[in-house]
Amino acid sequence: MKAKQTAITPTREENYPEWYQEVIKAADLAENSLVRGCMVIKPWGYAIWEKMVADLDRRFKKEGVENAYFPLFIPLELLQKEAKHVEGFATECAVVTHHRLEKNAEGKLVPAGPLEEPLIVRPTSEMIIGESFAKWIVSYRDLPMKINQWANVVRWEMRPRIFLRTAEFLWQEGHTAHESAEEGLEMAKTMLAVYRDFGKEMLAIPFYAGEKSEGERFPGAHTTFTVEGIMQDGKALQAGTSHFMHQNFAKASHIQFNNRSGQLEHAYTTSWGVTTRLIGAMIMTHSDDNGLVIPPKVAPKQVVIIPFLMKEQEEVIAYSKALAEELEAKGVRVHLDLSDKRSGEKVWHWIKKGVPARIEVGAKEIAEGSLALSMRHEEKGCVKKISREELVETLPSLLDQMQEELYQKALDLRNKRTKTAHTIEEFAALAKEETFPLSVIKAPWKGSLQDEERVKKEFNLSIRCILNEKGGLCPFSNQGDAPYALFAKSY
């Protein structure tokens, strides 16, 4: 039987990591920069990120969060105030030790001199934001304080992969301070729900949401919550985290307030963030062997109109422009492709870029009063003939339908891959599977750090999150009334 021809080679099943890189290349989303581990996000990729940013920013502000900006450089002395935190990031830190450049005897630029104190290029901003909170917060009347910043961070990544792991990446980091532990914990849970809902409603990704295990907890945090996506190869991707710090960081940063009894008390803080890794999650959840598939709500352009310009060129262009205006008036984001390319080349270009809908217009279509509509998530060659009037009227709802179908497809695949184990034997059998896709294991968990190490060493899996679901007897510790947890290989 002849193999099906695809635009992307290798296919997902043949080599999933290489397929991922080829999808990014074919869609013109991003590329590696001259600095190892850093990426250039190209206009199409950055436009997707802008859609994500706009919607998340709206959700944050609905929760009373305000945007601010904090320095890129953090004094080493400040970072050292929280020992556990520093230990977690130490090997990933980029350090600035010298200032200014000057020419040496050979005419080459060299650092002029060392800094009095090394500066850390922001790996995260808990400590430097904590310093500001310590100045801004005096009384319980100043609480809660809810701040977010959109910024870049640097974490020295040894095994980079575009959007998933890069030395520099874009993100948002929210930081809040509260009067009570209950209020702080509730805020951390609220932001977890924001990320989960954003994933479902905008990215069409069914995230698992839950608490991190002790071994996977954010350095210095009291409790870490996470949203985890299951990619098409069965591996998990941590897509966002929300941390309740209790008073740990407040004590390190001296964030204190006069409480309602007039006594000095440390605040309860949270931090939470998502990154450009969300683009990687979107790619690996929805794309196929012909290229990128973008959920309509985050697509820079939701429909591309491709005029066939072989004859009656002026009439076809005028018709296409008028159609574009009608669709834009309906709130649809439209691109009219008048580039000097062959029609077939244009079609494949936009398939690989993942535009949700494609309309083909030629003299024949105009004469027949019937346009050719293709939805990107349907099988290649699935073309619907539709009148102009019906197209203009129904395309917004067709895009909404595509959004829902992408989510349902991803949910069905996630659920199919998630398999339950209640004994060590069942767990081991699932862990040893090497099929494509891999299984995600759901098992009761009430284990120790030693049990967690066993999972990593013996089964080469990690605990992705602990779910708010009753599981039963933990097969690792033999403790009863254990909640379910998810175990998987991960990115």
Total number of residues shown for the chain: 491
pLDDT digits (tens, 9 = 90+) for 133-185: 999 999 999 999 999 999 999 998 878 999 999 999 999 999 999 999 999 99
**Within the chain, which residues score under 70 in pLDDT?**
1-3, 83-85, 311
Beta-carbon contacts of 284 under 8 Å, excluding residues fewer than 6 positions away, are: 20, 229, 231, 232, 233, 237
Burial of 83 (0-12, 13-18, 19+ CB in 10 A): exposed
Amino acid present at 248: N
Q: Which domains does the chain have, with CATH numbers?
A: 16-69+135-286 (3.30.930.10), 298-414 (3.40.50.800), 421-488 (3.30.110.30)
Closest by alpha carbon to 23, among 408, 230, 301, 280? 280
Token digits for 186? 């509730």
Cα dihedral 136, 140, 141, 143 in deg (nearest 10): 60
User: Distance between CA atoms of 324 and 338, rounded to whole angstroms?
Assistant: 12
User: Distance between CA atoms of 120 and 78, rounded to whole angstroms?
Assistant: 10
Provide the 3-class DSSP secondary structure of residue 167.
coil
Residues of 113-145 as b/e, b for ≥16 C-beta within 10 angstroms? eebeebbbbbbbbbbbbbbbbbeebeebeebbb
User: Distance between CA atoms of 185 and 223, rounded to whole angstroms?
Assistant: 8
Q: What is the pLDDT of residue 96?
A: 95
Q: What is the pLDDT of residue 3?
A: 57
Q: What is the pLDDT of residue 382?
A: 84
Residues of 395-419 as b/e, b for ≥16 C-beta within 10 angstroms? beebbeebbeebbeebeebbeebbb
